[in-house]
Amino acid sequence: MIDQNANRVTKLDAMLLQHEVEQFLYQEAALLDQWRLDEWLDLFTEDARYVVPSTDLPEGDPKQDLVFIDDDRLRLQGRVNRLKSRHAHREYPWSRTRRFITNVMVTEVSGDCLTVAASALVYRIRQQEEAPYIGSYEFRLRRVDGELKIHYRRAVLDLEALRSHGALSIIF
């Protein structure tokens, strides 16, 4: 009898954690869609990393392979500052985006650290053109002062090339 109750608590905890993680990812997507980039940056830990591998090597390791983005927190701050300025010519005025996050799975829990996988579809609308970016995310989230923060964010594009898009000027 005690084991059954413990099992129920575990299932309830897992469901609550799943919900918390989904809400966190939805909030992150909303901040990006609304170009609230400073608030988005606040979701990251001080030792965070953001990686986007190239489309021809989605499993690429930034330590040895060419990747589109390999930002630590300082470089991520610079990226946010540039995107908010007039110097980001591809994004001034800003593109409109709409993100769809789905298939969210908590794949590992270790203390205050979570590994999370999700699928994503991001529509970018700019100058009467639409461009879909399709891919997946891998997050390593860490609980800091009771709140989830992004320690590692890897965004993998399923596109074979960016030819029709021209460039990756938004945060995917």
> How does DSSP assign 111-126, residue by residue?
TTEEEEEEEEEEEEEE
The contacts of residue 26 (CB under 8 Å, 6+ apart) are: 101
Domain count, the chain: 1
Give the CATH number, domain containing residue 94: 3.10.450.50
pLDDT-based confidence at 126, cuts 50/70/90? Answer: confident
Residues spanned by the domain of 123: 2-157
Question: Is 131 inside any structural domain?
Answer: yes
Q: Is the dihedral of CA 75, 81, 83, 86 positive or negative?
A: negative
Question: Is 88 inside any structural domain?
Answer: yes
Predicted TM-score of the model (pTM): 0.89
Question: Is 162 inside any structural domain?
Answer: no
d(CA 70, CA 68): 7
In this predicted structure, the answer to whether residue 107 has a pLDDT above a threshold of 50 is: yes
Strand, coil or helix: 76: helix
Question: Is 166 inside any structural domain?
Answer: no
Q: Which residues pair with 153 in a beta bridge?
A: 50, 139
Element (H, E) at 3: helix 2-33
58: cis peptide before it, omega within 30°?
A: no
Question: Is 170 inside any structural domain?
Answer: no
d(CA 171, CA 82): 12
Question: Is 83 inside any structural domain?
Answer: yes
Question: Is 70 inside any structural domain?
Answer: yes
Mean pLDDT for 18-34 is 98
Mean pLDDT for 125-148 is 92
